[in-house]
Amino acid sequence: MARFSKQGWRWIFLALVPAVIGAQPVWNPPRVVADGLSAEGEGFRVVQLVTGLMNPWSLAFLPGGELLVTERGGRLWRLSPGRSQAVEGLPPIRALGQGGLLDIVLHPRFETNQLVYFTFSQAGAGGAGTALARARLGQDRLQDVQILFSLEPKTGAGQHFGSRLAWLPDGTLLMSIGDRGDRNRAQDPRDPAGSVLRFTEDGRPAPDNPGFGHPAIYTLGNRNIQGLAVQPATGLAFATEHGPRGGDELNLIEKGANYGWPLLTYGREYSGAIITTETSRPGYADPLYQWTPSLAPSGLAFYKGSAFPGWTGLLLSGNLAGQQLVGIRLDSRNKVSRVFTVMGNVIGRIRDVRVGPDGLVYLLTDNGRDGVFRLEPLR
């Protein structure tokens, strides 16, 4: 009888979860789940807004206060107090292991063009791969859906799809994509797996990309980025990346950089075996920070708003294994000066972190039956 590793059983479990149809999510009156918390001189409480989500992955704020929320199993919701609307018209999604319906962002000019961009795992010859799509958002349906990019070659692996999206100030779109469990793909300049890609708004490779063998590749050597955020003051992109056993990283994403995976890492195999003894090498980008043991970082956001003035410029990272919201303070040179826990073991695995137009911090959990949570100031 075949024997599976603990990680192998986890992939099987993650593949089966989307088959369980969750109840329709409900936006309830705010319910306080933790009070009297504080970090960096700011007191806050945690309230739950939405219940009944099944493995949510990403959220986006619509004008007027509605939320768009993706569920990894392949559902998209338009949520507001007292209203839960399923959005139809998604392309076929292969919910496999860690794959499914993933990140979603609005076009920078959404109020005039109603365009949304999202990533998902797409079936094809050989298995599945991460894809990028664009569509026009109607009231309850996506229209004019276009597949802008689809990873090739596809494989049957259930891990490391990525995938986060972020707009740069020049109007180009960054997309992270995991190595799909085949680490050597991350060093192949012709293979988009294990990299950050950069596109124009219509899905073409940005014309001033660094010139790797695949025109969309912006960086190489990324194992599995699940946190991606652009710094408001500078327009620089930062990413958090899953290491293996240890070696989770915070990186400054720079054009043409190679972040070294799997040639360089602070992590080990899940068995404990050494992958490499090298953590740095000339010509490769060093992480700004690394976590060993792993916290499994996911959603990432810079704080900007008036609700928590003491957090201005703070980088907020959600974590899955660590079940923490981590604060990362950067100095004037964008070097890490302090890392601390904003909140730990309160709501479980934190999949996404977003700062709303109201200056409040919104979180998605990924524990099975999940919800949307919000951090509110005590004053």
Q: Provide the strand spans (E) within 55-137.
A: 56-61, 67-71, 75-80, 83-86, 101-106, 115-124, 127-137
The DSSP result for 4-54, as a single string, is --HHHHHHHHHHHGGGSPPPPPEEEEEEEEEEEEEETTEEEEEEEEEEEEE
Give dist(CA 326, CA 318) in Å, integer: 6
- Please give the span between the terminal C-alpha atoms of the chain, in angstroms, as a whole number: 60
Asked whether the CA dihedral 296, 298, 304, 309 is positive or negative, the reply is negative
HSE, CB side, 13 Å, CA atoms: give it for residue 245. 11
Q: Please name the helix (run of DSSP H) or strand (run of DSSP E) that holds residue 340, with its range, or none.
A: strand 336-344
- Whether residue 314 contacts residue 327, with contact meaning beta carbons closer than 8 Å, is answered with yes
Determine which one of 107, 160, 214, 242 is catalytic.
160
Asked whether the CA dihedral 136, 159, 302, 309 is positive or negative, the reply is positive
Is 160 catalytic? The answer is yes
Tokens of 176: 């992270």
The answer to whether the bond into 25 is cis (omega within 30° of 0) is: no
**Each residue of 161-198: b (16+ CB within 10 Å) or e?**
bbbbbbbbeeebbbbbbbbbbbbebbbbeebbbbbbbb
Q: Minimal CA–CA distance to 290: which of 239, 346, 246, 249?
A: 249
Active-site residue set? 160
